[in-house]
Amino acid sequence: MLRTIDLRGTRPSTAGLLALVPRAATDVSAALDAARSIIDEVREHGETALLDQAERFDGVRPSAVRVPADELAAALEGLAPEIRAAALQTIERVRSASEAQVPAPQTTVLAAGAIVEQRWQPVARVGLYVPGGKAVYPSSVIMNVVPAQVAGVRSIALASPAQSEFDGRIHPTIAGIAALLGITEVYAMGGAGAIGAFAYGVDGIGLDPVQRVTGPGNVFVAAAKRVVQSVTGIDAEAGPTDILVIADDSADPDFVAADLVSQAEHDELAAAVLVTDSPELAARVAERLEARVTATKHSARVREAIDGVQSAIVLVDDLEQAADFANAFGPEHLEIQVRDVDATLARIENAGAIFVGSFSPVSLGDYAAGSNHVLPTGGQARHASGLSAATFLRPQQVVRYDEQALREVAPVIAALSTEEDLPAHGEAVTARFPG
Q: Which residues are catalytic?
A: 332-333
Binding-site positions: 241, 263, 266, 333, 366, 420, 425
Contacts of 288 (CB under 8 A, 6+ apart): 253, 254, 256, 257, 258
Judge contact between 387 and 374, C-beta under 8 A: yes
Q: Which residues are annotated as a binding site for substrate?
A: 241, 263, 266, 333, 366, 420, 425
Cα–Cα nearest to 145, from 156, 160, 137, 135: 156
**What 3-state class would DSSP assign to 125?**
strand
Backbone φ and ψ for 87, nearest 5 degrees, come out as -65, -40
Label residues 174-207 b or e (16+ Cβ within 10 Å = b): bbbbbbbbebebbbbbbbbbbbbbbbbbbeeeeb
Query: What whole-number distance in Å separates Cα of residue 205 and Cα of residue 214?
Result: 21
The residues with which 353 forms a beta bridge, in sequence order, are: 333
Alpha-carbon span 407 to 434, nearest angstrom = 12
Burial 111-127 (b: 16+ CB within 10 A, else e): eeebbeeeebebbebbb
DSSP character string of 269-307: T-EEEEEES-HHHHHHHHHHHHHHHHHSTTHHHHHHHHH
Distance CA 242, CA 167 (A): 33
Residue positions forming the annotated binding site for Zn(2+)? 263, 266, 366, 425
d(CA 425, CA 428): 5
Angle at 238 between CA 232 and CA 242, to 5 degrees: 165
- For 87, half-sphere exposure in the C-beta direction (CA atoms, 13 angstrom radius) is 24
What is the SS3 assignment for 430? helix
Output phi, psi for 338, to 5 deg.
-140, 170
User: What is the number of alpha carbons within 13 Å of residue 176 lying toward its C-beta?
Assistant: 21
Rounded distance between C-alpha atoms, residue 391 and residue 152, angstroms: 11
- Contact by Cβ (8 Å): 159, 128: yes
Burial zone of 33 (CB within 10 Å; 0-12 exposed, 13-18 middle, 19+ buried): exposed
